[in-house]
Structure 1
Amino acid sequence: MVRVHLQGGRYAFQKRQKKYLTKKEKQWLLQLHVFGESGDPEAIHQLRLNIKKVKAFVQMMKACSDKRIVKDFGPFKKMFRQAGKIRDAGNSLKLLKQFEVSFAEYSERQERLQKEAEVVFNERSEEYKKKGKKAGRRLQADLHAVRSRCIKDWYASRLIKISVLVTASGDLLHEARKRIKELLYVEKLLPPALAQEIRLDKDYLDRLQDAIGDWHDMAVIVETYAGREGADSQAMVDESGRREAKVRMLAGDFYLKAHLT
Protein backbone atom coordinates (compact mmCIF):
# COMPACT_ATOMS: atom_id res chain seq x y z
CA MET A 1 0.00 0.00 0.00
CA VAL A 2 1.30 3.45 -0.93
CA ARG A 3 1.76 5.74 2.03
CA VAL A 4 0.27 9.22 1.79
CA HIS A 5 1.98 12.22 3.34
CA LEU A 6 0.48 15.61 4.04
CA GLN A 7 2.93 18.23 2.83
CA GLY A 8 2.04 21.92 3.08
CA GLY A 9 -1.67 21.18 2.69
CA ARG A 10 -1.13 18.91 -0.29
CA TYR A 11 -1.75 15.21 -0.44
CA ALA A 12 1.29 13.99 -2.35
CA PHE A 13 -0.21 10.80 -3.70
CA GLN A 14 1.14 10.69 -7.24
CA LYS A 15 2.19 7.07 -6.70
CA ARG A 16 -1.34 6.20 -5.69
CA GLN A 17 -2.69 8.00 -8.75
CA LYS A 18 -0.27 6.25 -11.08
CA LYS A 19 -1.11 2.88 -9.59
CA TYR A 20 -4.81 3.62 -10.09
CA LEU A 21 -4.41 4.69 -13.73
CA THR A 22 -2.15 1.73 -14.50
CA LYS A 23 -4.74 -0.66 -13.06
CA LYS A 24 -7.59 0.90 -15.06
CA GLU A 25 -5.54 0.71 -18.26
CA LYS A 26 -4.83 -2.98 -17.78
CA GLN A 27 -8.52 -3.60 -17.18
CA TRP A 28 -9.89 -1.75 -20.19
CA LEU A 29 -7.22 -3.26 -22.45
CA LEU A 30 -8.20 -6.73 -21.23
CA GLN A 31 -11.88 -6.08 -21.89
CA LEU A 32 -11.11 -4.69 -25.34
CA HIS A 33 -9.36 -7.97 -26.14
CA VAL A 34 -12.12 -10.10 -24.59
CA PHE A 35 -14.84 -8.37 -26.59
CA GLY A 36 -12.89 -8.75 -29.81
CA GLU A 37 -12.50 -12.48 -29.15
CA SER A 38 -15.96 -13.31 -27.82
CA GLY A 39 -18.37 -10.41 -28.36
CA ASP A 40 -19.33 -10.74 -24.68
CA PRO A 41 -21.57 -7.76 -23.77
CA GLU A 42 -20.21 -7.86 -20.21
CA ALA A 43 -16.77 -7.00 -21.63
CA ILE A 44 -18.22 -3.82 -23.15
CA HIS A 45 -19.83 -2.96 -19.82
CA GLN A 46 -16.55 -3.45 -17.93
CA LEU A 47 -14.56 -1.51 -20.53
CA ARG A 48 -16.92 1.47 -20.22
CA LEU A 49 -16.88 1.23 -16.45
CA ASN A 50 -13.09 1.49 -16.29
CA ILE A 51 -13.04 4.43 -18.68
CA LYS A 52 -15.73 6.14 -16.58
CA LYS A 53 -13.48 5.78 -13.56
CA VAL A 54 -10.60 7.38 -15.42
CA LYS A 55 -12.89 10.20 -16.55
CA ALA A 56 -14.07 10.83 -12.97
CA PHE A 57 -10.46 11.06 -11.84
CA VAL A 58 -9.74 13.53 -14.66
CA GLN A 59 -12.66 15.75 -13.60
CA MET A 60 -11.31 15.99 -10.07
CA MET A 61 -7.78 16.69 -11.31
CA LYS A 62 -9.09 19.32 -13.70
CA ALA A 63 -10.53 21.24 -10.78
CA CYS A 64 -7.59 20.77 -8.45
CA SER A 65 -4.45 20.51 -10.51
CA ASP A 66 -4.07 21.11 -14.23
CA LYS A 67 -6.74 21.69 -16.86
CA ARG A 68 -4.44 20.20 -19.54
CA ILE A 69 -5.32 16.80 -18.16
CA VAL A 70 -8.74 17.01 -19.86
CA LYS A 71 -7.00 17.01 -23.26
CA ASP A 72 -5.11 13.90 -22.19
CA PHE A 73 -8.43 12.10 -21.75
CA GLY A 74 -9.68 13.08 -25.23
CA PRO A 75 -8.54 9.93 -27.11
CA PHE A 76 -10.79 7.77 -24.95
CA LYS A 77 -13.98 9.51 -26.09
CA LYS A 78 -14.50 7.79 -29.44
CA MET A 79 -14.00 4.35 -27.93
CA PHE A 80 -16.35 5.16 -25.07
CA ARG A 81 -19.10 6.50 -27.36
CA GLN A 82 -18.91 3.56 -29.75
CA ALA A 83 -19.02 1.08 -26.88
CA GLY A 84 -22.04 3.01 -25.57
CA LYS A 85 -23.95 2.40 -28.81
CA ILE A 86 -23.46 -1.33 -28.36
CA ARG A 87 -24.44 -1.17 -24.71
CA ASP A 88 -27.56 0.98 -25.23
CA ALA A 89 -28.96 -1.24 -27.97
CA GLY A 90 -28.35 -4.33 -25.87
CA ASN A 91 -30.08 -2.80 -22.85
CA SER A 92 -33.11 -1.86 -24.94
CA LEU A 93 -33.47 -5.42 -26.22
CA LYS A 94 -33.05 -6.79 -22.71
CA LEU A 95 -35.86 -4.60 -21.34
CA LEU A 96 -38.26 -5.50 -24.15
CA LYS A 97 -37.62 -9.17 -23.45
CA GLN A 98 -38.08 -8.64 -19.72
CA PHE A 99 -41.56 -7.18 -20.24
CA GLU A 100 -42.45 -9.75 -22.90
CA VAL A 101 -43.56 -7.09 -25.36
CA SER A 102 -43.36 -7.55 -29.08
CA PHE A 103 -42.63 -4.67 -31.41
CA ALA A 104 -40.80 -6.26 -34.27
CA GLU A 105 -39.76 -3.07 -36.08
CA TYR A 106 -38.19 -1.53 -32.98
CA SER A 107 -36.51 -4.77 -31.87
CA GLU A 108 -35.10 -5.39 -35.32
CA ARG A 109 -33.77 -1.85 -35.46
CA GLN A 110 -32.01 -2.26 -32.11
CA GLU A 111 -30.51 -5.58 -33.18
CA ARG A 112 -29.27 -3.99 -36.39
CA LEU A 113 -27.81 -0.99 -34.54
CA GLN A 114 -26.08 -3.28 -32.08
CA LYS A 115 -24.49 -5.43 -34.80
CA GLU A 116 -23.41 -2.40 -36.83
CA ALA A 117 -21.89 -0.77 -33.75
CA GLU A 118 -20.03 -3.99 -32.92
CA VAL A 119 -18.55 -4.17 -36.42
CA VAL A 120 -17.32 -0.57 -36.26
CA PHE A 121 -15.95 -1.08 -32.76
CA ASN A 122 -13.98 -4.18 -33.72
CA GLU A 123 -12.67 -2.55 -36.89
CA ARG A 124 -11.29 0.33 -34.81
CA SER A 125 -10.12 -1.71 -31.83
CA GLU A 126 -6.44 -1.44 -32.72
CA GLU A 127 -6.79 2.33 -33.12
CA TYR A 128 -8.57 2.53 -29.75
CA LYS A 129 -5.79 0.49 -28.16
CA LYS A 130 -2.96 2.67 -29.50
CA LYS A 131 -4.64 5.99 -28.74
CA GLY A 132 -5.83 4.84 -25.32
CA LYS A 133 -2.35 3.74 -24.27
CA LYS A 134 -0.92 7.04 -25.50
CA ALA A 135 -3.56 8.92 -23.53
CA GLY A 136 -2.66 6.90 -20.45
CA ARG A 137 1.00 7.88 -20.74
CA ARG A 138 0.07 11.55 -21.03
CA LEU A 139 -2.24 11.35 -18.03
CA GLN A 140 0.50 9.89 -15.89
CA ALA A 141 3.02 12.48 -17.08
CA ASP A 142 0.68 15.31 -16.04
CA LEU A 143 -0.04 14.09 -12.51
CA HIS A 144 0.53 16.56 -9.67
CA ALA A 145 0.14 16.69 -5.93
CA VAL A 146 -3.34 17.91 -4.99
CA ARG A 147 -4.42 20.16 -2.13
CA SER A 148 -6.75 18.34 0.25
CA ARG A 149 -8.79 21.54 0.61
CA CYS A 150 -9.45 21.60 -3.14
CA ILE A 151 -10.63 17.99 -3.15
CA LYS A 152 -13.05 18.70 -0.30
CA ASP A 153 -14.30 21.84 -2.09
CA TRP A 154 -14.78 19.81 -5.28
CA TYR A 155 -16.92 17.30 -3.43
CA ALA A 156 -18.96 20.04 -1.76
CA SER A 157 -19.66 21.85 -5.05
CA ARG A 158 -20.57 18.60 -6.80
CA LEU A 159 -22.99 17.63 -4.05
CA ILE A 160 -24.71 21.02 -4.28
CA LYS A 161 -25.10 20.65 -8.05
CA ILE A 162 -26.44 17.12 -7.67
CA SER A 163 -28.97 18.27 -5.06
CA VAL A 164 -30.44 20.53 -7.75
CA LEU A 165 -30.27 17.96 -10.54
CA VAL A 166 -32.12 15.26 -8.56
CA THR A 167 -35.17 17.52 -8.37
CA ALA A 168 -35.32 17.67 -12.18
CA SER A 169 -36.37 15.06 -14.71
CA GLY A 170 -35.26 13.63 -18.04
CA ASP A 171 -31.66 14.23 -19.07
CA LEU A 172 -30.93 16.38 -16.02
CA LEU A 173 -31.89 13.57 -13.66
CA HIS A 174 -29.71 11.21 -15.66
CA GLU A 175 -26.86 13.74 -15.37
CA ALA A 176 -27.26 13.60 -11.59
CA ARG A 177 -26.55 9.89 -11.73
CA LYS A 178 -23.34 10.43 -13.69
CA ARG A 179 -22.09 12.94 -11.14
CA ILE A 180 -22.98 10.71 -8.20
CA LYS A 181 -20.99 7.89 -9.75
CA GLU A 182 -18.03 10.24 -10.27
CA LEU A 183 -17.97 10.99 -6.55
CA LEU A 184 -18.07 7.30 -5.69
CA TYR A 185 -15.31 6.40 -8.15
CA VAL A 186 -12.96 9.14 -6.93
CA GLU A 187 -13.63 8.37 -3.26
CA LYS A 188 -12.03 4.95 -3.69
CA LEU A 189 -8.83 6.64 -4.84
CA LEU A 190 -8.55 9.08 -1.93
CA PRO A 191 -6.28 8.57 1.07
CA PRO A 192 -8.40 7.02 3.87
CA ALA A 193 -7.96 10.03 6.18
CA LEU A 194 -9.26 12.42 3.53
CA ALA A 195 -12.15 10.13 2.58
CA GLN A 196 -13.14 10.05 6.25
CA GLU A 197 -13.19 13.86 6.38
CA ILE A 198 -15.51 14.06 3.36
CA ARG A 199 -17.98 11.68 5.09
CA LEU A 200 -19.89 10.42 2.07
CA ASP A 201 -22.75 8.03 2.73
CA LYS A 202 -21.69 5.69 -0.04
CA ASP A 203 -24.50 3.18 0.52
CA TYR A 204 -27.13 5.88 0.11
CA LEU A 205 -25.49 7.37 -2.98
CA ASP A 206 -25.17 3.94 -4.56
CA ARG A 207 -28.85 3.15 -3.95
CA LEU A 208 -29.87 6.48 -5.47
CA GLN A 209 -27.70 6.21 -8.59
CA ASP A 210 -28.92 2.64 -9.10
CA ALA A 211 -32.56 3.75 -8.82
CA ILE A 212 -31.98 6.56 -11.34
CA GLY A 213 -30.34 4.10 -13.71
CA ASP A 214 -33.30 1.70 -13.47
CA TRP A 215 -35.71 4.57 -14.15
CA HIS A 216 -33.69 5.98 -17.06
CA ASP A 217 -33.44 2.66 -18.90
CA MET A 218 -37.21 2.25 -18.69
CA ALA A 219 -37.95 5.88 -19.56
CA VAL A 220 -35.94 5.65 -22.79
CA ILE A 221 -37.88 2.56 -23.87
CA VAL A 222 -41.25 4.08 -22.95
CA GLU A 223 -40.50 7.29 -24.85
CA THR A 224 -39.62 5.34 -27.98
CA TYR A 225 -42.19 2.55 -27.64
CA ALA A 226 -45.33 4.26 -26.32
CA GLY A 227 -47.99 5.18 -28.85
CA ARG A 228 -46.78 2.78 -31.53
CA GLU A 229 -49.54 1.05 -33.42
CA GLY A 230 -50.30 -2.28 -31.83
CA ALA A 231 -48.01 -1.59 -28.91
CA ASP A 232 -49.39 -2.68 -25.54
CA SER A 233 -47.01 -0.57 -23.49
CA GLN A 234 -49.14 0.34 -20.43
CA ALA A 235 -47.28 -2.07 -18.16
CA MET A 236 -44.02 -0.40 -19.11
CA VAL A 237 -45.47 3.09 -18.55
CA ASP A 238 -46.70 2.02 -15.12
CA GLU A 239 -43.34 0.51 -14.23
CA SER A 240 -41.54 3.66 -15.36
CA GLY A 241 -43.79 5.67 -13.03
CA ARG A 242 -43.02 3.36 -10.12
CA ARG A 243 -39.29 3.62 -10.74
CA GLU A 244 -39.42 7.41 -10.90
CA ALA A 245 -41.40 7.51 -7.65
CA LYS A 246 -38.67 5.45 -5.98
CA VAL A 247 -36.08 7.96 -7.20
CA ARG A 248 -38.10 10.88 -5.80
CA MET A 249 -38.43 9.18 -2.44
CA LEU A 250 -34.70 8.50 -2.21
CA ALA A 251 -33.71 11.94 -3.52
CA GLY A 252 -35.61 13.90 -0.87
CA ASP A 253 -33.24 15.90 1.39
CA PHE A 254 -30.38 14.74 -0.81
CA TYR A 255 -27.65 16.96 0.61
CA LEU A 256 -28.32 15.81 4.18
CA LYS A 257 -28.58 12.15 3.26
CA ALA A 258 -25.39 12.22 1.21
CA HIS A 259 -23.31 12.76 4.36
CA LEU A 260 -22.68 10.34 7.17
CA THR A 261 -23.92 11.63 10.52
Structure 2
Amino acid sequence: MGYKLRPHDPASEVRKVVRQGIDNAIEALGAPVAERAEGIHQARKRFKELRALLRLVREPLGREFKRENQRLRDLGRALAESRDAAAMLECWDLLAERFPKPFAEEGLRKTRRRLRDRARRSETETSGIDERIVDATAELQSLCNRIETWTLDENGFELFAAGVKRTYADGCAELAKARLDLSDEQLHQWRKRVKDHWYQTRLLAPSWPTLMRLRGDTLKRLADMLGDDHDLAMMLQLMQRTPDLFGEPDQLARLEVMIAERRSELQSSALKTGGELYVDAPDALVARWRRYWSDAQR
Protein backbone atom coordinates (compact mmCIF):
# COMPACT_ATOMS: atom_id res chain seq x y z
CA MET A 1 0.00 0.00 0.00
CA GLY A 2 1.62 3.25 -1.12
CA TYR A 3 -0.94 5.42 0.69
CA LYS A 4 0.28 7.72 3.48
CA LEU A 5 -1.38 9.98 6.03
CA ARG A 6 0.71 13.13 6.26
CA PRO A 7 0.78 15.32 9.38
CA HIS A 8 -1.51 18.08 8.13
CA ASP A 9 -5.32 18.22 7.97
CA PRO A 10 -5.67 14.53 8.94
CA ALA A 11 -9.40 14.32 8.17
CA SER A 12 -8.76 15.37 4.56
CA GLU A 13 -5.86 12.93 4.39
CA VAL A 14 -8.11 10.07 5.50
CA ARG A 15 -10.70 10.86 2.83
CA LYS A 16 -7.98 11.17 0.17
CA VAL A 17 -6.47 7.80 1.04
CA VAL A 18 -9.87 6.09 1.05
CA ARG A 19 -10.59 7.43 -2.42
CA GLN A 20 -7.20 6.20 -3.65
CA GLY A 21 -7.90 2.75 -2.25
CA ILE A 22 -11.34 2.63 -3.85
CA ASP A 23 -9.97 3.75 -7.24
CA ASN A 24 -7.25 1.10 -7.13
CA ALA A 25 -9.71 -1.63 -6.12
CA ILE A 26 -12.06 -0.72 -8.99
CA GLU A 27 -9.13 -0.73 -11.42
CA ALA A 28 -8.03 -4.17 -10.19
CA LEU A 29 -11.55 -5.58 -10.56
CA GLY A 30 -11.56 -4.40 -14.18
CA ALA A 31 -8.61 -6.62 -15.12
CA PRO A 32 -8.93 -8.74 -18.30
CA VAL A 33 -10.23 -12.29 -17.91
CA ALA A 34 -6.74 -13.75 -18.27
CA GLU A 35 -5.56 -11.62 -15.33
CA ARG A 36 -8.77 -11.78 -13.31
CA ALA A 37 -7.49 -13.99 -10.47
CA GLU A 38 -4.63 -11.59 -9.75
CA GLY A 39 -6.94 -8.60 -10.16
CA ILE A 40 -9.35 -9.97 -7.58
CA HIS A 41 -6.44 -10.75 -5.29
CA GLN A 42 -5.26 -7.15 -5.52
CA ALA A 43 -8.78 -5.80 -4.98
CA ARG A 44 -9.22 -7.90 -1.85
CA LYS A 45 -5.92 -6.51 -0.55
CA ARG A 46 -7.30 -3.01 -1.02
CA PHE A 47 -10.44 -3.99 0.94
CA LYS A 48 -8.27 -5.16 3.87
CA GLU A 49 -6.22 -1.98 3.76
CA LEU A 50 -9.36 0.13 3.76
CA ARG A 51 -10.72 -1.81 6.74
CA ALA A 52 -7.46 -1.20 8.62
CA LEU A 53 -7.81 2.52 7.89
CA LEU A 54 -11.39 2.43 9.16
CA ARG A 55 -10.12 0.85 12.39
CA LEU A 56 -7.67 3.73 12.70
CA VAL A 57 -10.61 6.19 12.87
CA ARG A 58 -13.12 3.79 14.46
CA GLU A 59 -13.93 6.05 17.42
CA PRO A 60 -14.65 9.30 15.53
CA LEU A 61 -16.63 7.38 12.89
CA GLY A 62 -18.95 5.97 15.54
CA ARG A 63 -21.79 3.90 14.08
CA GLU A 64 -20.53 4.46 10.56
CA PHE A 65 -17.50 2.30 11.30
CA LYS A 66 -19.50 -0.87 11.79
CA ARG A 67 -21.59 -0.35 8.66
CA GLU A 68 -18.67 0.48 6.37
CA ASN A 69 -16.45 -2.25 7.83
CA GLN A 70 -19.14 -4.90 7.28
CA ARG A 71 -19.70 -3.78 3.70
CA LEU A 72 -16.02 -4.10 2.86
CA ARG A 73 -15.80 -7.44 4.67
CA ASP A 74 -18.73 -8.79 2.67
CA LEU A 75 -17.20 -7.60 -0.61
CA GLY A 76 -14.02 -9.54 0.16
CA ARG A 77 -15.92 -12.69 1.08
CA ALA A 78 -18.02 -12.57 -2.08
CA LEU A 79 -14.85 -12.64 -4.19
CA ALA A 80 -12.79 -15.03 -2.05
CA GLU A 81 -13.40 -18.35 -3.78
CA SER A 82 -11.88 -17.28 -7.09
CA ARG A 83 -8.51 -16.92 -5.35
CA ASP A 84 -8.34 -20.17 -3.40
CA ALA A 85 -6.96 -22.48 -6.11
CA ALA A 86 -4.26 -19.99 -7.13
CA ALA A 87 -3.25 -19.57 -3.49
CA MET A 88 -2.81 -23.33 -3.14
CA LEU A 89 -0.45 -23.42 -6.11
CA GLU A 90 1.61 -20.58 -4.64
CA CYS A 91 1.67 -22.38 -1.28
CA TRP A 92 2.94 -25.54 -3.01
CA ASP A 93 5.77 -23.63 -4.68
CA LEU A 94 6.87 -22.08 -1.37
CA LEU A 95 6.93 -25.52 0.22
CA ALA A 96 9.00 -26.77 -2.73
CA GLU A 97 11.56 -24.04 -2.08
CA ARG A 98 11.97 -25.34 1.47
CA PHE A 99 12.24 -29.00 0.39
CA PRO A 100 13.71 -28.88 -3.14
CA LYS A 101 14.99 -32.46 -3.34
CA PRO A 102 11.73 -34.39 -2.68
CA PHE A 103 9.71 -31.88 -4.70
CA ALA A 104 11.92 -32.56 -7.72
CA GLU A 105 10.65 -36.14 -7.80
CA GLU A 106 8.16 -37.08 -10.53
CA GLY A 107 5.33 -37.92 -8.14
CA LEU A 108 5.27 -34.45 -6.58
CA ARG A 109 5.83 -32.80 -9.96
CA LYS A 110 2.67 -34.54 -11.18
CA THR A 111 0.81 -33.20 -8.16
CA ARG A 112 1.93 -29.69 -9.01
CA ARG A 113 0.62 -30.09 -12.53
CA ARG A 114 -2.76 -31.11 -11.12
CA LEU A 115 -2.76 -28.08 -8.82
CA ARG A 116 -1.79 -25.86 -11.76
CA ASP A 117 -4.64 -27.21 -13.89
CA ARG A 118 -7.04 -26.75 -10.97
CA ALA A 119 -5.96 -23.11 -10.63
CA ARG A 120 -6.41 -22.50 -14.36
CA ARG A 121 -9.90 -23.99 -14.33
CA SER A 122 -10.90 -21.86 -11.36
CA GLU A 123 -10.08 -18.71 -13.31
CA THR A 124 -12.76 -19.51 -15.89
CA GLU A 125 -15.27 -21.64 -13.99
CA THR A 126 -16.11 -19.44 -11.00
CA SER A 127 -19.90 -19.22 -11.09
CA GLY A 128 -21.39 -15.74 -11.15
CA ILE A 129 -18.05 -13.94 -10.83
CA ASP A 130 -18.93 -11.34 -13.48
CA GLU A 131 -22.05 -10.34 -11.57
CA ARG A 132 -20.16 -10.20 -8.28
CA ILE A 133 -17.51 -7.95 -9.81
CA VAL A 134 -20.22 -5.60 -11.09
CA ASP A 135 -21.87 -5.55 -7.65
CA ALA A 136 -18.55 -4.94 -5.90
CA THR A 137 -17.70 -2.05 -8.23
CA ALA A 138 -21.10 -0.44 -7.62
CA GLU A 139 -20.69 -0.78 -3.85
CA LEU A 140 -17.24 0.81 -4.00
CA GLN A 141 -18.59 3.72 -5.99
CA SER A 142 -21.33 4.16 -3.40
CA LEU A 143 -18.74 4.15 -0.63
CA CYS A 144 -16.83 6.89 -2.44
CA ASN A 145 -19.97 9.03 -2.40
CA ARG A 146 -20.45 8.53 1.34
CA ILE A 147 -16.96 9.62 2.39
CA GLU A 148 -17.85 13.31 2.70
CA THR A 149 -20.59 12.50 5.23
CA TRP A 150 -18.17 10.83 7.66
CA THR A 151 -17.68 12.55 11.00
CA LEU A 152 -13.94 13.10 11.49
CA ASP A 153 -13.82 16.02 13.93
CA GLU A 154 -10.77 15.20 16.07
CA ASN A 155 -7.64 17.29 15.50
CA GLY A 156 -4.09 16.08 14.85
CA PHE A 157 -2.96 12.69 16.07
CA GLU A 158 -6.00 12.43 18.34
CA LEU A 159 -7.99 11.44 15.25
CA PHE A 160 -5.97 8.22 15.21
CA ALA A 161 -4.86 7.68 18.83
CA ALA A 162 -7.75 5.45 19.97
CA GLY A 163 -7.56 3.38 16.77
CA VAL A 164 -3.80 2.84 17.08
CA LYS A 165 -4.19 1.80 20.72
CA ARG A 166 -7.04 -0.63 20.10
CA THR A 167 -5.43 -2.30 17.08
CA TYR A 168 -2.10 -2.72 18.84
CA ALA A 169 -3.75 -3.92 22.07
CA ASP A 170 -5.79 -6.45 20.09
CA GLY A 171 -2.56 -7.74 18.55
CA CYS A 172 -0.98 -8.09 22.01
CA ALA A 173 -4.03 -10.03 23.22
CA GLU A 174 -4.07 -12.37 20.21
CA LEU A 175 -0.34 -13.04 20.60
CA ALA A 176 -0.87 -13.95 24.26
CA LYS A 177 -3.61 -16.39 23.21
CA ALA A 178 -1.43 -17.87 20.45
CA ARG A 179 1.33 -18.62 22.95
CA LEU A 180 -1.15 -20.91 24.71
CA ASP A 181 -3.09 -22.12 21.68
CA LEU A 182 -1.40 -22.72 18.31
CA SER A 183 -4.64 -23.74 16.63
CA ASP A 184 -5.24 -22.74 13.02
CA GLU A 185 -8.07 -20.40 14.00
CA GLN A 186 -6.10 -18.63 16.73
CA LEU A 187 -3.08 -18.05 14.51
CA HIS A 188 -5.40 -16.73 11.80
CA GLN A 189 -6.99 -14.28 14.24
CA TRP A 190 -3.57 -13.03 15.31
CA ARG A 191 -2.51 -12.64 11.69
CA LYS A 192 -5.50 -10.38 10.97
CA ARG A 193 -4.56 -8.06 13.83
CA VAL A 194 -0.89 -8.08 12.75
CA LYS A 195 -1.91 -7.01 9.25
CA ASP A 196 -4.09 -4.21 10.62
CA HIS A 197 -1.17 -2.91 12.69
CA TRP A 198 1.14 -3.22 9.66
CA TYR A 199 -1.22 -1.26 7.41
CA GLN A 200 -1.65 1.43 10.05
CA THR A 201 2.10 1.67 10.57
CA ARG A 202 2.57 2.24 6.87
CA LEU A 203 -0.21 4.82 6.77
CA LEU A 204 1.42 6.83 9.56
CA ALA A 205 4.99 6.37 8.28
CA PRO A 206 5.47 10.06 7.29
CA SER A 207 5.50 10.96 11.00
CA TRP A 208 8.94 9.31 11.35
CA PRO A 209 9.81 7.54 8.09
CA THR A 210 12.92 5.58 9.10
CA LEU A 211 11.63 4.04 12.33
CA MET A 212 8.11 3.45 11.04
CA ARG A 213 9.44 1.86 7.85
CA LEU A 214 11.61 -0.53 9.86
CA ARG A 215 8.64 -1.49 12.03
CA GLY A 216 6.46 -1.90 8.95
CA ASP A 217 9.01 -4.18 7.28
CA THR A 218 9.17 -6.42 10.34
CA LEU A 219 5.39 -6.53 10.61
CA LYS A 220 5.24 -7.52 6.94
CA ARG A 221 7.62 -10.43 7.57
CA LEU A 222 5.52 -11.53 10.52
CA ALA A 223 2.29 -11.33 8.51
CA ASP A 224 3.92 -13.35 5.72
CA MET A 225 5.02 -16.07 8.18
CA LEU A 226 1.50 -16.34 9.56
CA GLY A 227 0.03 -16.23 6.06
CA ASP A 228 2.27 -19.04 4.84
CA ASP A 229 1.32 -21.09 7.90
CA HIS A 230 -2.38 -20.49 7.24
CA ASP A 231 -2.03 -21.54 3.61
CA LEU A 232 -0.37 -24.78 4.71
CA ALA A 233 -3.26 -25.40 7.10
CA MET A 234 -5.66 -24.92 4.17
CA MET A 235 -3.57 -27.32 2.10
CA LEU A 236 -3.91 -29.98 4.78
CA GLN A 237 -7.67 -29.52 4.71
CA LEU A 238 -7.67 -29.84 0.92
CA MET A 239 -5.60 -33.03 1.20
CA GLN A 240 -8.21 -34.48 3.54
CA ARG A 241 -11.12 -33.54 1.24
CA THR A 242 -9.53 -34.56 -2.06
CA PRO A 243 -6.58 -36.91 -1.38
CA ASP A 244 -6.47 -38.11 -4.99
CA LEU A 245 -5.35 -34.62 -6.01
CA PHE A 246 -2.12 -35.15 -4.11
CA GLY A 247 -1.21 -38.70 -5.11
CA GLU A 248 -0.82 -42.07 -3.44
CA PRO A 249 -1.20 -42.55 0.35
CA ASP A 250 2.55 -42.85 0.93
CA GLN A 251 3.11 -39.56 -0.88
CA LEU A 252 0.42 -37.88 1.23
CA ALA A 253 2.13 -39.13 4.37
CA ARG A 254 5.46 -37.66 3.25
CA LEU A 255 3.75 -34.36 2.43
CA GLU A 256 2.16 -34.23 5.85
CA VAL A 257 5.56 -34.64 7.51
CA MET A 258 7.10 -31.83 5.45
CA ILE A 259 4.13 -29.55 6.07
CA ALA A 260 4.33 -30.20 9.82
CA GLU A 261 8.04 -29.40 9.82
CA ARG A 262 7.59 -26.20 7.87
CA ARG A 263 4.66 -25.08 10.03
CA SER A 264 6.71 -25.64 13.17
CA GLU A 265 9.48 -23.43 11.74
CA LEU A 266 7.05 -20.69 10.73
CA GLN A 267 5.20 -20.68 14.04
CA SER A 268 8.41 -20.57 16.10
CA SER A 269 9.74 -17.65 14.04
CA ALA A 270 6.40 -15.84 14.22
CA LEU A 271 6.19 -16.11 18.00
CA LYS A 272 9.77 -14.84 18.37
CA THR A 273 9.21 -11.90 16.00
CA GLY A 274 5.85 -11.13 17.59
CA GLY A 275 7.45 -11.00 21.02
CA GLU A 276 9.90 -8.39 19.73
CA LEU A 277 7.20 -6.26 18.09
CA TYR A 278 4.53 -6.43 20.77
CA VAL A 279 6.80 -5.59 23.70
CA ASP A 280 5.42 -2.13 24.63
CA ALA A 281 2.31 -1.45 26.65
CA PRO A 282 -0.38 0.02 24.36
CA ASP A 283 -0.33 3.43 26.12
CA ALA A 284 3.46 3.61 25.71
CA LEU A 285 3.31 2.88 21.98
CA VAL A 286 0.58 5.49 21.46
CA ALA A 287 2.55 8.09 23.42
CA ARG A 288 5.64 7.47 21.30
CA TRP A 289 3.72 7.67 18.04
CA ARG A 290 2.06 10.89 19.25
CA ARG A 291 5.52 12.39 19.77
CA TYR A 292 6.55 11.33 16.26
CA TRP A 293 3.48 13.04 14.83
CA SER A 294 4.05 16.25 16.83
CA ASP A 295 7.70 16.40 15.80
CA ALA A 296 6.74 15.89 12.15
CA GLN A 297 4.22 18.74 12.33
CA ARG A 298 6.92 21.05 13.68
Q: Distance in 2 between matches of 1:95 and 1:196?
A: 32
Bigger relative CO (Cα 8 Å, ≥ 6 apart): 2
**Equivalent pairs: percent with the same residue?**
19
Distance in 2, matches of 1:101 and 1:151, equals 47
In structure 2, the CA distance between the partners of 1:188 and 1:143, relative to structure 1 (3 Å rule), is farther
Say what the alpha-carbon RMSD is for the aligned residues. 3.5
Residue in 1 aligned with 2:48?
52
Alignment length, in residue pairs? 252
Match for residue 81 of structure 2 among 79, 85, 90: 85
Structure-to-structure mapping, 1:83-232, within 5 angstroms = 83-95=79-91, 100=108, 115-117=124-126, 119-146=127-154, 147=158, 148-167=160-179, 168-190=182-204, 192-193=206-207, 201-226=215-240, 228=243, 230-231=248-249, 232=251
Which residue of 2 is the match for residue 28 of structure 1?
25
Q: Which residue of 1 aligns with 2:100?
A: none
1:108-162 per-position Cα deviation (integer Å, ceiling 9, x unaligned)? 8776665443x41212322221122102322442140442542442244123223
Instruction: Mark the CA change 1:43 to 1:110 in structure 2 (over 3 Å): closer, same or farther.
Output: closer
d(CA) in 2 for partners of 1:128 and 1:2? 26
- Counterpart Cα distance in 2 of 1:220 and 1:239: 15
Q: Which sits farther off after the overlay, 184-193 or 203-212?
A: 184-193
TM-score (norm 2): 0.70
- Write the letter of the residue equivalent to 1:183: H
Q: Which residue of 2 aligns with 1:9?
A: none
Indicate whether 1:68 and 2:64 are aligned. yes
Contact 1:14 1:144 in 2 (8 A): yes
Structure 1 unaligned spans of 5+: 6-11
Query: CA-to-partner distance for each residue in 1:1-56, whole Å, 9 max, x for gaps?
Result: 97635xxxxxx501111111111111011111114x43432212111111110111
Closer, same or farther: CA 226–82 of 1 in aligned 2, 3 Å: same
- Under a length normalisation based on structure 1, what TM-score does the superposition of the two structures give? 0.79
- Greater fraction of residues in helix: 2
Report the residue type matching 2:256 in the other structure.
V
Q: Distance in 2 between matches of 1:38 and 1:253?
A: 38
Q: Please tell me whether the aligned partners of residues 29 and 43 of structure 2 are also in contact (alpha carbons under 8 angstroms).
A: yes
